[in-house]
Amino acid sequence: MNTYELIAPCHFGLEAVLKKEILDLGYEISQVEDGRVTFIGDDEAICRGNVFLRTAERVLLKAGSFHAETFEELFQGTMAIDWEAFIPEDGKFWVAKASSIKSRLFSPSDIQSVMKKAMVERLKKYYGIAWFPEHGASFPLRVFIYKDTVTIGIDTSGDSLHKRGYRILASKAPITETLAAALLLLTPWNRDRILVDPFCGSGTFPIEAAMIAAKMAPGMNRSFLSEDWKHLIKRKCWYEAMDEANDQMDTGAKVDIQGYDIDGAIVKAARQNAAAAGVDHMIHFQQRPVSALSHPKKYGFMISNPPYGERIEEKENLPALYREIGERFRELDAWSMYLITSYEEAEKYIGRKADKNRKIYNGMLKTYFYQFMGPKPPGRKLENKGN
Protein backbone atom coordinates (compact mmCIF):
# COMPACT_ATOMS: atom_id res chain seq x y z
CA MET A 1 0.00 0.00 0.00
CA ASN A 2 1.09 3.55 -0.70
CA THR A 3 1.71 5.88 2.24
CA TYR A 4 0.34 9.42 2.09
CA GLU A 5 0.13 12.59 4.10
CA LEU A 6 -3.55 13.20 4.79
CA ILE A 7 -4.93 16.60 5.78
CA ALA A 8 -8.04 16.82 7.96
CA PRO A 9 -9.51 20.36 8.22
CA CYS A 10 -11.61 21.20 11.30
CA HIS A 11 -13.14 24.16 13.12
CA PHE A 12 -10.59 26.70 14.38
CA GLY A 13 -9.97 26.07 18.07
CA LEU A 14 -10.81 22.35 18.00
CA GLU A 15 -7.60 20.94 16.54
CA ALA A 16 -6.73 19.11 19.79
CA VAL A 17 -10.01 17.17 19.68
CA LEU A 18 -9.40 16.05 16.11
CA LYS A 19 -5.77 15.18 16.90
CA LYS A 20 -6.94 12.84 19.67
CA GLU A 21 -9.45 11.20 17.32
CA ILE A 22 -6.74 10.54 14.74
CA LEU A 23 -4.34 9.14 17.37
CA ASP A 24 -7.15 6.90 18.68
CA LEU A 25 -7.53 5.49 15.15
CA GLY A 26 -3.84 4.57 15.32
CA TYR A 27 -2.26 7.10 12.95
CA GLU A 28 0.83 9.28 13.35
CA ILE A 29 0.34 13.05 13.44
CA SER A 30 2.83 14.96 11.27
CA GLN A 31 1.59 18.53 11.80
CA VAL A 32 -1.05 20.52 13.69
CA GLU A 33 -1.95 23.98 12.33
CA ASP A 34 -4.82 26.40 12.82
CA GLY A 35 -7.89 24.68 11.42
CA ARG A 36 -6.28 21.43 10.28
CA VAL A 37 -4.36 18.34 11.36
CA THR A 38 -2.04 16.40 9.03
CA PHE A 39 -1.38 12.71 9.60
CA ILE A 40 0.35 9.76 7.92
CA GLY A 41 -1.70 6.92 6.47
CA ASP A 42 -2.32 4.56 3.56
CA ASP A 43 -5.41 3.95 1.43
CA GLU A 44 -6.99 2.17 4.39
CA ALA A 45 -6.52 5.38 6.41
CA ILE A 46 -8.44 7.34 3.76
CA CYS A 47 -11.39 4.98 4.19
CA ARG A 48 -11.24 4.81 7.99
CA GLY A 49 -10.70 8.57 8.32
CA ASN A 50 -13.83 9.30 6.28
CA VAL A 51 -15.94 6.70 8.07
CA PHE A 52 -14.82 7.26 11.69
CA LEU A 53 -13.69 10.87 12.21
CA ARG A 54 -16.46 12.83 13.96
CA THR A 55 -14.80 16.25 14.06
CA ALA A 56 -13.00 16.54 10.67
CA GLU A 57 -14.67 18.50 7.89
CA ARG A 58 -13.13 16.28 5.19
CA VAL A 59 -10.06 14.14 4.47
CA LEU A 60 -7.63 15.50 1.87
CA LEU A 61 -4.84 13.54 0.21
CA LYS A 62 -1.81 15.85 0.20
CA ALA A 63 -0.48 16.07 -3.37
CA GLY A 64 2.38 18.45 -2.68
CA SER A 65 3.68 21.66 -1.13
CA PHE A 66 6.04 24.36 -2.42
CA HIS A 67 6.94 28.05 -2.13
CA ALA A 68 5.44 30.50 -4.63
CA GLU A 69 5.44 34.31 -4.68
CA THR A 70 4.55 34.75 -8.37
CA PHE A 71 2.08 33.08 -10.72
CA GLU A 72 5.01 31.68 -12.71
CA GLU A 73 6.32 29.98 -9.55
CA LEU A 74 2.80 28.73 -8.84
CA PHE A 75 2.57 27.30 -12.39
CA GLN A 76 5.98 25.60 -12.25
CA GLY A 77 5.45 24.28 -8.72
CA THR A 78 2.09 22.79 -9.65
CA MET A 79 3.43 21.26 -12.87
CA ALA A 80 6.28 19.59 -10.95
CA ILE A 81 3.83 17.45 -8.90
CA ASP A 82 3.33 13.83 -10.06
CA TRP A 83 -0.36 14.28 -10.94
CA GLU A 84 -0.33 11.07 -12.98
CA ALA A 85 0.16 9.16 -9.72
CA PHE A 86 -3.32 10.29 -8.67
CA ILE A 87 -5.37 11.27 -11.73
CA PRO A 88 -6.16 8.76 -14.51
CA GLU A 89 -6.48 9.73 -18.17
CA ASP A 90 -10.27 10.16 -17.94
CA GLY A 91 -10.23 11.84 -14.50
CA LYS A 92 -12.16 15.05 -13.88
CA PHE A 93 -9.93 17.54 -12.05
CA TRP A 94 -10.30 21.14 -10.97
CA VAL A 95 -9.34 23.51 -8.14
CA ALA A 96 -12.54 23.59 -6.12
CA LYS A 97 -11.32 26.07 -3.51
CA ALA A 98 -8.26 28.28 -3.01
CA SER A 99 -7.54 30.34 0.10
CA SER A 100 -4.63 32.69 0.75
CA ILE A 101 -3.40 34.24 4.01
CA LYS A 102 -0.41 36.58 4.39
CA SER A 103 0.79 35.72 0.86
CA ARG A 104 1.67 37.63 -2.30
CA LEU A 105 -0.72 35.52 -4.37
CA PHE A 106 -4.23 36.29 -3.17
CA SER A 107 -6.74 36.10 -6.04
CA PRO A 108 -8.61 32.77 -5.71
CA SER A 109 -9.87 32.77 -9.30
CA ASP A 110 -6.40 33.45 -10.75
CA ILE A 111 -4.82 30.81 -8.50
CA GLN A 112 -7.44 28.28 -9.65
CA SER A 113 -6.93 29.11 -13.32
CA VAL A 114 -3.12 28.98 -13.26
CA MET A 115 -3.05 25.67 -11.37
CA LYS A 116 -5.56 24.01 -13.70
CA LYS A 117 -3.44 25.02 -16.71
CA ALA A 118 -0.30 23.63 -15.06
CA MET A 119 -2.00 20.30 -14.33
CA VAL A 120 -3.25 20.04 -17.91
CA GLU A 121 0.25 20.68 -19.26
CA ARG A 122 1.76 18.00 -17.02
CA LEU A 123 -0.88 15.38 -17.82
CA LYS A 124 -0.89 16.18 -21.57
CA LYS A 125 2.79 15.23 -21.74
CA TYR A 126 2.36 12.13 -19.59
CA TYR A 127 -0.68 10.69 -21.37
CA GLY A 128 0.28 11.97 -24.82
CA ILE A 129 -3.09 13.59 -25.48
CA ALA A 130 -4.12 17.19 -26.19
CA TRP A 131 -7.67 17.03 -24.79
CA PHE A 132 -9.04 15.40 -21.65
CA PRO A 133 -12.55 13.91 -21.74
CA GLU A 134 -12.91 14.27 -17.92
CA HIS A 135 -15.83 11.82 -17.75
CA GLY A 136 -14.27 9.54 -15.14
CA ALA A 137 -13.85 9.84 -11.35
CA SER A 138 -13.64 13.32 -9.79
CA PHE A 139 -10.52 14.83 -8.21
CA PRO A 140 -11.37 18.26 -6.77
CA LEU A 141 -8.41 20.14 -5.28
CA ARG A 142 -8.32 22.36 -2.21
CA VAL A 143 -5.40 24.78 -2.03
CA PHE A 144 -4.10 26.63 1.04
CA ILE A 145 -1.49 29.37 0.62
CA TYR A 146 0.00 30.62 3.89
CA LYS A 147 3.02 32.95 3.97
CA ASP A 148 3.71 32.02 0.33
CA THR A 149 3.76 28.27 1.01
CA VAL A 150 1.31 26.46 -1.26
CA THR A 151 -0.25 23.24 0.07
CA ILE A 152 -2.44 21.17 -2.25
CA GLY A 153 -4.88 18.51 -1.12
CA ILE A 154 -7.13 16.28 -3.24
CA ASP A 155 -10.55 15.95 -1.63
CA THR A 156 -11.35 12.30 -0.84
CA SER A 157 -14.66 13.03 0.91
CA GLY A 158 -16.86 14.93 -1.55
CA ASP A 159 -19.65 16.44 0.54
CA SER A 160 -18.32 17.79 3.84
CA LEU A 161 -18.14 15.15 6.58
CA HIS A 162 -20.64 17.11 8.67
CA LYS A 163 -23.25 15.76 6.24
CA ARG A 164 -23.83 12.47 8.03
CA GLY A 165 -26.96 11.78 6.00
CA TYR A 166 -29.48 12.05 8.84
CA ARG A 167 -30.39 15.74 8.90
CA ILE A 168 -33.52 15.82 6.78
CA LEU A 169 -34.78 19.03 8.36
CA ALA A 170 -32.87 21.84 10.08
CA SER A 171 -33.78 24.64 12.47
CA LYS A 172 -33.09 28.34 11.79
CA ALA A 173 -29.56 28.37 13.22
CA PRO A 174 -28.36 24.77 13.30
CA ILE A 175 -25.01 23.79 14.73
CA THR A 176 -23.08 21.51 12.38
CA GLU A 177 -22.73 17.85 13.24
CA THR A 178 -18.92 18.02 13.33
CA LEU A 179 -18.93 21.01 15.69
CA ALA A 180 -21.53 19.42 17.97
CA ALA A 181 -19.49 16.21 18.16
CA ALA A 182 -16.27 18.13 18.90
CA LEU A 183 -17.91 20.09 21.74
CA LEU A 184 -19.32 16.91 23.25
CA LEU A 185 -15.87 15.32 23.10
CA LEU A 186 -14.42 18.37 24.90
CA THR A 187 -16.61 17.64 27.93
CA PRO A 188 -16.23 14.80 30.45
CA TRP A 189 -19.69 13.46 29.49
CA ASN A 190 -20.00 9.73 28.95
CA ARG A 191 -22.97 7.55 28.18
CA ASP A 192 -23.88 6.71 31.77
CA ARG A 193 -24.43 10.40 32.60
CA ILE A 194 -27.65 12.35 31.92
CA LEU A 195 -27.48 14.77 28.98
CA VAL A 196 -30.07 17.50 28.27
CA ASP A 197 -30.23 20.09 25.50
CA PRO A 198 -32.96 22.66 26.34
CA PHE A 199 -32.61 24.42 22.95
CA CYS A 200 -32.24 21.30 20.84
CA GLY A 201 -33.45 22.73 17.51
CA SER A 202 -33.23 19.98 14.90
CA GLY A 203 -31.60 17.67 17.45
CA THR A 204 -27.92 17.78 16.53
CA PHE A 205 -26.42 17.66 20.05
CA PRO A 206 -28.68 14.81 21.28
CA ILE A 207 -28.23 12.84 18.03
CA GLU A 208 -24.44 13.20 18.02
CA ALA A 209 -24.36 12.23 21.72
CA ALA A 210 -26.46 9.14 21.00
CA MET A 211 -24.16 8.17 18.13
CA ILE A 212 -21.12 8.54 20.40
CA ALA A 213 -22.86 6.47 23.10
CA ALA A 214 -23.75 3.77 20.55
CA LYS A 215 -20.22 3.82 19.09
CA MET A 216 -21.85 4.53 15.74
CA ALA A 217 -19.38 5.71 13.09
CA PRO A 218 -20.52 9.07 11.67
CA GLY A 219 -19.85 8.05 8.06
CA MET A 220 -21.80 4.80 8.07
CA ASN A 221 -24.81 6.10 6.17
CA ARG A 222 -23.23 8.10 3.36
CA SER A 223 -20.92 7.74 0.39
CA PHE A 224 -17.54 9.33 -0.35
CA LEU A 225 -16.02 10.73 -3.52
CA SER A 226 -12.92 8.52 -3.38
CA GLU A 227 -15.00 5.34 -3.52
CA ASP A 228 -14.66 5.86 -7.30
CA TRP A 229 -10.84 5.99 -7.11
CA LYS A 230 -10.52 2.28 -7.85
CA HIS A 231 -6.96 2.68 -9.20
CA LEU A 232 -5.82 4.09 -5.81
CA ILE A 233 -8.11 2.52 -3.21
CA LYS A 234 -9.19 -1.12 -3.33
CA ARG A 235 -12.92 -1.72 -2.75
CA LYS A 236 -11.83 -4.13 -0.03
CA CYS A 237 -10.62 -1.17 2.09
CA TRP A 238 -14.09 0.41 2.07
CA TYR A 239 -15.76 -2.91 2.91
CA GLU A 240 -13.34 -3.51 5.78
CA ALA A 241 -13.91 0.00 7.19
CA MET A 242 -17.69 -0.53 7.12
CA ASP A 243 -17.35 -4.00 8.67
CA GLU A 244 -15.27 -2.47 11.47
CA ALA A 245 -17.94 0.20 12.00
CA ASN A 246 -20.72 -2.39 12.16
CA ASP A 247 -18.76 -4.63 14.53
CA GLN A 248 -18.20 -1.89 17.12
CA MET A 249 -21.76 -0.50 17.09
CA ASP A 250 -23.80 -0.87 20.30
CA THR A 251 -27.29 0.53 19.66
CA GLY A 252 -28.59 -1.20 22.80
CA ALA A 253 -26.63 1.17 25.06
CA LYS A 254 -28.74 2.47 27.96
CA VAL A 255 -28.68 6.26 28.01
CA ASP A 256 -30.63 9.25 29.33
CA ILE A 257 -30.43 11.83 26.54
CA GLN A 258 -33.12 14.49 26.26
CA GLY A 259 -33.82 17.33 23.84
CA TYR A 260 -36.31 20.16 24.40
CA ASP A 261 -37.39 23.08 22.30
CA ILE A 262 -40.20 25.63 22.56
CA ASP A 263 -41.11 25.09 18.88
CA GLY A 264 -43.26 21.98 18.40
CA ALA A 265 -42.60 21.80 14.65
CA ILE A 266 -38.85 21.77 15.19
CA VAL A 267 -39.17 19.05 17.87
CA LYS A 268 -41.01 16.95 15.29
CA ALA A 269 -38.14 17.57 12.85
CA ALA A 270 -35.61 16.52 15.52
CA ARG A 271 -37.48 13.23 16.00
CA GLN A 272 -37.39 12.61 12.24
CA ASN A 273 -33.66 13.35 12.11
CA ALA A 274 -33.00 10.99 15.05
CA ALA A 275 -34.98 8.26 13.28
CA ALA A 276 -32.94 8.80 10.09
CA ALA A 277 -29.76 8.44 12.20
CA GLY A 278 -31.06 5.22 13.78
CA VAL A 279 -30.94 6.59 17.35
CA ASP A 280 -34.54 7.75 17.93
CA HIS A 281 -34.99 5.00 20.56
CA MET A 282 -32.13 6.53 22.58
CA ILE A 283 -33.44 10.12 22.84
CA HIS A 284 -36.49 11.69 24.49
CA PHE A 285 -37.62 14.80 22.61
CA GLN A 286 -40.30 17.10 24.01
CA GLN A 287 -41.77 20.53 23.33
CA ARG A 288 -40.84 22.50 26.43
CA PRO A 289 -39.57 26.05 27.18
CA VAL A 290 -36.31 26.51 29.07
CA SER A 291 -38.36 27.90 32.01
CA ALA A 292 -39.67 24.35 32.57
CA LEU A 293 -36.21 22.76 32.69
CA SER A 294 -35.79 20.49 35.70
CA HIS A 295 -34.46 17.03 36.52
CA PRO A 296 -34.63 15.04 39.79
CA LYS A 297 -31.25 13.32 39.37
CA LYS A 298 -27.79 14.65 40.22
CA TYR A 299 -24.57 14.99 38.21
CA GLY A 300 -26.17 15.60 34.82
CA PHE A 301 -24.92 17.60 31.87
CA MET A 302 -26.61 20.42 30.00
CA ILE A 303 -25.13 21.26 26.60
CA SER A 304 -26.74 23.65 24.16
CA ASN A 305 -26.54 26.20 21.37
CA PRO A 306 -28.98 28.82 22.74
CA PRO A 307 -30.16 31.83 20.72
CA TYR A 308 -27.62 34.63 20.58
CA GLY A 309 -29.50 37.40 18.81
CA GLU A 310 -28.03 37.50 15.35
CA ARG A 311 -31.07 39.54 14.35
CA ILE A 312 -31.34 43.00 15.94
CA GLU A 313 -34.94 42.49 17.09
CA GLU A 314 -33.90 39.37 19.05
CA LYS A 315 -31.07 41.03 21.02
CA GLU A 316 -33.39 42.79 23.47
CA ASN A 317 -34.68 39.37 24.63
CA LEU A 318 -31.24 37.98 25.43
CA PRO A 319 -30.71 39.31 28.99
CA ALA A 320 -33.98 37.73 30.18
CA LEU A 321 -33.27 34.49 28.32
CA TYR A 322 -29.75 34.03 29.72
CA ARG A 323 -30.95 35.03 33.20
CA GLU A 324 -33.53 32.24 32.92
CA ILE A 325 -30.84 29.77 31.81
CA GLY A 326 -28.80 30.67 34.90
CA GLU A 327 -31.80 30.32 37.22
CA ARG A 328 -32.74 26.89 35.86
CA PHE A 329 -29.12 25.72 36.02
CA ARG A 330 -28.86 26.70 39.70
CA GLU A 331 -31.92 24.56 40.45
CA LEU A 332 -30.26 21.45 39.01
CA ASP A 333 -28.37 19.47 41.64
CA ALA A 334 -24.62 19.17 41.00
CA TRP A 335 -24.93 19.53 37.21
CA SER A 336 -22.45 20.84 34.63
CA MET A 337 -23.44 23.24 31.83
CA TYR A 338 -21.79 23.85 28.45
CA LEU A 339 -23.03 26.58 26.11
CA ILE A 340 -21.78 27.74 22.72
CA THR A 341 -22.86 31.30 21.93
CA SER A 342 -21.58 34.51 20.37
CA TYR A 343 -23.37 36.52 23.09
CA GLU A 344 -20.53 38.17 24.99
CA GLU A 345 -22.65 39.05 28.05
CA ALA A 346 -23.77 35.46 28.63
CA GLU A 347 -21.87 35.09 31.93
CA LYS A 348 -23.22 38.39 33.26
CA TYR A 349 -26.85 37.33 32.93
CA ILE A 350 -26.29 33.67 33.81
CA GLY A 351 -24.92 35.05 37.07
CA ARG A 352 -21.70 33.06 37.22
CA LYS A 353 -18.30 33.19 35.56
CA ALA A 354 -17.55 30.10 33.49
CA ASP A 355 -14.83 27.78 34.78
CA LYS A 356 -13.44 27.59 31.24
CA ASN A 357 -14.15 29.66 28.16
CA ARG A 358 -12.84 28.51 24.79
CA LYS A 359 -12.98 30.73 21.68
CA ILE A 360 -14.22 28.81 18.63
CA TYR A 361 -14.89 30.02 15.11
CA ASN A 362 -18.17 28.69 13.74
CA GLY A 363 -17.57 29.55 10.10
CA MET A 364 -16.76 33.28 10.19
CA LEU A 365 -18.67 33.80 13.44
CA LYS A 366 -16.62 34.09 16.63
CA THR A 367 -18.32 32.11 19.40
CA TYR A 368 -17.47 31.15 22.96
CA PHE A 369 -17.82 27.72 24.53
CA TYR A 370 -18.69 28.50 28.15
CA GLN A 371 -17.96 25.58 30.49
CA PHE A 372 -19.57 25.61 33.94
CA MET A 373 -18.20 22.58 35.77
CA GLY A 374 -20.25 20.72 38.34
CA PRO A 375 -18.82 18.37 40.99
CA LYS A 376 -17.70 14.88 40.06
CA PRO A 377 -19.92 11.97 41.18
CA PRO A 378 -18.58 10.31 44.35
CA GLY A 379 -16.51 7.17 44.02
CA ARG A 380 -15.69 7.75 40.34
CA LYS A 381 -12.57 9.13 38.79
CA LEU A 382 -13.89 11.32 35.99
CA GLU A 383 -11.68 11.80 32.97
CA ASN A 384 -11.68 15.37 31.74
CA LYS A 385 -11.43 15.29 27.96
CA GLY A 386 -10.90 19.02 27.67
CA ASN A 387 -7.46 20.48 27.86
Same domain? For 56 and 147 the reply is: yes
Residue 69 in domain: yes
**How far apart (Å, rounded) are the C-alpha atoms in residues 166 and 275?**
8
Same domain? For 149 and 211 the reply is: no
Predicted pLDDT of residue 5: 98
Same domain? For 183 and 304 the reply is: yes
Residue 243 in domain: no
Same domain? For 350 and 209 the reply is: yes
Strand partners, 368: 341, 359
Strand partners, 67: 149
Predicted pLDDT of residue 173: 63
Assign residue 312 the CATH number of its domain. 3.40.50.150
Q: Helix (H, G, I), strand (E, B), or coil: what is residue 366?
A: strand
Triad 139, 145, 147: Cα angle to 5°: 165
Residue 236 in domain: no
**How far apart (Å, rounded) are the C-alpha atoms in residues 52 and 370?**
27
Residue 265 in domain: yes
Same domain? For 129 and 205 the reply is: no
Predicted pLDDT of residue 123: 97
Range of the structural domain that residue 76 is part of? 4-155
Mean pLDDT (10-residue bins), the chain, 387 residues: 94 96 98 97 98 98 98 98 97 97 97 98 96 95 98 98 89 84 97 96 97 97 97 97 97 95 95 96 97 95 89 79 97 97 95 96 88 88 46
Same domain? For 304 and 183 the reply is: yes
Same domain? For 345 and 201 the reply is: yes
Assign residue 72 the CATH number of its domain. 3.30.2130.30
**How far apart (Å, rounded) are the C-alpha atoms in residues 14 and 278?**
27
Residue 283 in domain: yes
Predicted pLDDT of residue 382: 46
Predicted pLDDT of residue 245: 98
Same domain? For 325 and 183 the reply is: yes
Residue 164 in domain: no
Q: Which residues contact 8 (CB under 8 A, 6 or more apart)?
A: 18, 22, 36, 37, 38, 39, 49, 53, 56, 57, 58, 59, 60
Residue 66 in domain: yes
Same domain? For 98 and 195 the reply is: no
Same domain? For 124 and 199 the reply is: no
17, 53 Cβ separation under 8 angstroms? no
* H runs (alpha helix) in the chain: 15-24, 43-52, 71-79, 108-127, 177-186, 204-213, 235-248, 264-277, 312-315, 318-331, 346-350
Same domain? For 205 and 352 the reply is: yes
Residue 147 in domain: yes
Tally of domains within the chain: 2
Same domain? For 99 and 203 the reply is: no
254, 245 Cβ separation under 8 angstroms? no
